[in-house]
Amino acid sequence: MSPDRARPLRHNQPALDRYTAALSVAVAGALLVIGIAVIPGIVLRLDDMHTAPPWIWVGFVSWLGIHVGYPAWAIWSGLANQSAR
């Protein structure tokens, strides 16, 4: 496989496709980074979800990045690259 075929963002793609791909990776990555908010709760050993502060619940939004954002981007990227061949 040539190096050009392995790259998801090709130079011959329209600018909108490259922009959309970069934006979707940024959104999925941002959702994953939100999970850092949970680290202090782990250090403080906040084990009871009934007494957890609201900032702990914000950290669970990162699961959207893992289970929704990244798979959606991967499927979209695969379909876009398949149609470009």
7 C-beta neighbours (distance < 10 Å), count: 10
Q: Which portions of the chain are predicted below pLDDT 50?
A: none
**51-73 residue pLDDT tens:** 888 888 888 888 887 888 788 88
Burial (CB < 10 A; 0-12, 13-18, 19+), residue 11, is exposed
Q: For residue 34, give the nearest of 67, 57, 68 by alpha carbon.
A: 57
Q: Which pLDDT does position 52 carry in this prediction?
A: 83
Q: How far apart, in Å, are the Cα atoms of 15 and each of 10, 33, 50, 83?
A: 10, 27, 48, 16
